[in-house]
Structure 1
Amino acid sequence: MRVLAAMSGGVDSAVAAARAVDAGHDVVGVHLALSAKPGTLRTGARGCCTIEDSHDARRAADLLGIPFYVWDFAERFTEQVVETFVGEYAAGRTPNPCVTCNEKIKFEALLEKAMALGFDAVATGHYARLSVVDGVPVLRRSADLGKDQSYVLASLEPEQLRHAMFPLGGSHKSDVREEARERGLAVARKPDSHDICFIPDGDTRKFLEDRIESRPGDLVDAETGAVLGRHTGVHGFTVGQRKGLGIDAPAPDGKPRYVLSLEPVSGTVTVGSAEGLGVRTIEADRAVWPSEQPLDGPTECVVQVRAHGGVVPAVAEATADGRVTARLREPLRGVAPGQVLVLYREDADAGDLVLGSAKIAATA
């Protein structure tokens, strides 16, 4: 097959490309330039799309003996990832930009261009297992549960997964690093990327304040309804947040307060005790079924709402208009509208299977 290897400049994508070459595919490497000013992105070997990352990717491609190109996706990244991120926070929701990037950039924009150029598949360094059985994609957790990235891939459409390759799905990160060392790849010891690549200093609140107009509102106690303070905009908060609330007086019981909900129209930020964070029901919409199999009636599953969050058992139901209701067997804390709900079916023999995903709209 003709395979386009997406090379971020990190160890995972380099080894994934190497394995694609070893498998006998006709491989071409490509690095995505995602910023018109790449020097403003996170540097120090921690990002995924800086100038130094592109150089690392090129060196890896040279060692593998494959052609290498840099494709400029900066404008599309800004519009579909950065602006979406800002808009979601302005609306009182908590987005995951990595999910959006995978969905809109790596497996929409990149795959579209790859297909137009005659490639059969795009290979990436994601830790997830993927197979196609009778033309139907089957997406599962990776063998290394600590690095599993099936969560950020669960929003991909079946047709996108049919043209995807995840060569690292059956491996553990320690083995991938050792393989990179044995292959002579300079990125073998390069640290993993962290945080949000387009927020250089990691200060999300300041990043949003520079882009969202100030809309003051009240900080309200969930139990008494008392106004505890003022703030400059709901974009500065997320459900489950404890620090930086701007409340001077301690709670009567001396316990910490947490953000329980956000109301962007009135600007109200409701705070309360940790017990108030417990969620039993999740309502979500815009469902995607990677294996083309929507839920058929109430379905026992486990759900995950953060990329590296815990899972809880649940019973989920879906409707024809793309809505999903998950009733949790035990409460889950810190669930916010805008996050992605991913449904898994436990499979002891082959790893958890991704049933589907949906965007969280409300909780109870």
Structure 2
Amino acid sequence: MNNSTVIVGLSGGVDSSVAALLLKNQGYKVVGLFMKNWEDDDDDDYCSSKQDLLDAVSVADKIGIDIEVVNFSKEYKEKVFSEFINEIKSGKTPNPDILCNSEIKFSAFLNHAISMGADKIATGHYAQIKEADGLYSLLKADDSTKDQSYFLYRLNQHQLSKSLFPLGNLLKKDVREIAKKEGLHNSDKKDSTGICFIGERPFTEFLNKYIENSPGPIKDEHGKILGEHIGLMFYTLGQRQGLGIGGSKTSNGEPWFVAEKSIKENILIVAQGHAHPLLFKDGLIAKKPHWIHEALPEKHWVYGAKTRYRESDAPCEIDMIKDDSVEIFFGQKQWAITPGQSVVVYESNVCLGGAIIECAIDKAQVPFPEKIVAS
């Protein structure tokens, strides 16, 4: 019998519910903790925190564990949301889920859990943790379609040493089957999307509450004005929908994509066709690098990196420019590398860490090994 106490972040969703169930069945003393992290417009149609709390309480009662509620809205607004808004204002496309994990779920929540007497915390993330000789590694989940290591790359050794990911070796369909078999009412509940802890809201309407928009021209690569944007903050590189320039396509059938944002001149530059050269870059410069093993990976050609969550790992080479930034070049040009997003680096299925993309760059001639280019 395992007598360790584990505090599980119960969100009301099926993943965290099954994580708590599995740990209880393994003999841990399990306590659920529901985190409330957003209070603005909490009574509107888009905030599901009330229903999520009811679902979490129902699950805790069903599997026979205690549950507590904690409010981290002050910490969330100061450490996550304020940074999100600042990045948006600068014309970037930040990923608040990554900062939310490092600052709230595995910092504020972890510290609170330890104060409650917890030995470990656990979440419903799809990822794995391995320990060898006192060094903790973050690994991809067995279910490659649900792997969430991308969002966890900023975790440090202490946070990993105190965390459990019970779903790391399971497929999503198996998690739902476990929930259904055990009679959990949320077995078919839709996975949450949208901004971390804020939910699924109309993005433009939501941002208008916090940032004053500034309309300007939409131009093609030759400087021809095609329309007007409603504010650069509402667009991201590679975006196709919602450009408002004669629908999404022109007479030749090729859709338009956001290729660049000129912040200084307030111009949105678009390119026609998914394969347009303006959308592809050789590499990137990224800031605030974080390495899980607390050291920069050696410079060689066995790494893969992704510049957005749903991408496959692309062969790359890493160079440190200075302590607070990193340069990464890819074996093949990458599509719509987006400032504000994170580049996350892997060695096989091990997540080494990553950094926040500052800008995409080209390199005239990169001496990539032939086998890398061909892959």
* TM-score using structure 1 length: 0.90
Question: What is the CA distance between 1:361 and its match in structure 2?
Answer: 0.5
Q: Which residue of 2 aligns with 1:40?
A: 44
| 1:254–1:23 distance in 2 versus 1, CA, 3 Å | closer
1:1-364 matches, cutoff 5 A:
1-36=4-39, 37-40=41-44, 42=46, 50-196=49-195, 202-222=201-221, 224-248=222-246, 255-273=254-272, 274=274, 275=276, 276-319=278-321, 321-346=323-348, 352-364=349-361
Which residue identity is paired with 1:39?
A: D
Which residue identity is paired with 2:355?
A: A
Contact kept? 1:41, 1:199, Cα under 8 Å? no
Which runs of no fewer than 5 residues in structure 1 stay unpaired? 347-351
What's the CA shift string for 1:148-199, capped at 9, x where partnerless?
A: 1111111212221111110110011111111112222222222211233666
Q: Which residue of 2 aligns with 1:349?
A: none
- The CA RMSD over aligned residues, in Å, is 2.2
* Whole-Å separation in 1 of the counterparts to 2:286 and 2:65: 43
| 1:226–1:118 distance in 2 versus 1, CA, 3 Å | same
Which runs of no fewer than 5 residues in structure 2 stay unpaired? 362-375
Question: What is the CA distance between 1:266 and its match in structure 2?
Answer: 2.5
| 1:106–1:197 distance in 2 versus 1, CA, 3 Å | closer
Question: What is the CA distance between 1:247 and its match in structure 2?
Answer: 3.1
Contact kept? 1:288, 1:356, Cα under 8 Å? yes
* Whole-Å separation in 1 of the counterparts to 2:82 and 2:127: 28
| 1:201–1:24 distance in 2 versus 1, CA, 3 Å | closer
| 1:30–1:198 distance in 2 versus 1, CA, 3 Å | closer
Which residue identity is paired with 2:229?
A: H
Q: Which stretches of structure 1, 4 residues or more, deviate above 4 A after TM superposition?
A: 197-201, 248-254
Which shows bigger deviation, 323-332 or 5-14?
A: 323-332
**Count of matched residue positions in the alignment of Structure 1 and Structure 2:** 353
* Whole-Å separation in 1 of the counterparts to 2:145 and 2:268: 34
Which residue identity is paired with 1:264?
A: I
Secondary structure, aligned partner of 1:309: coil
Question: What is the CA distance between 1:72 and its match in structure 2?
Answer: 0.9
Question: What is the CA distance between 1:321 and its match in structure 2?
Answer: 0.2
Question: What is the CA distance between 1:117 and its match in structure 2?
Answer: 3.1
Contact kept? 1:35, 1:74, Cα under 8 Å? yes
* TM-score using structure 2 length: 0.87
Question: What is the CA distance between 1:51 and its match in structure 2?
Answer: 0.9
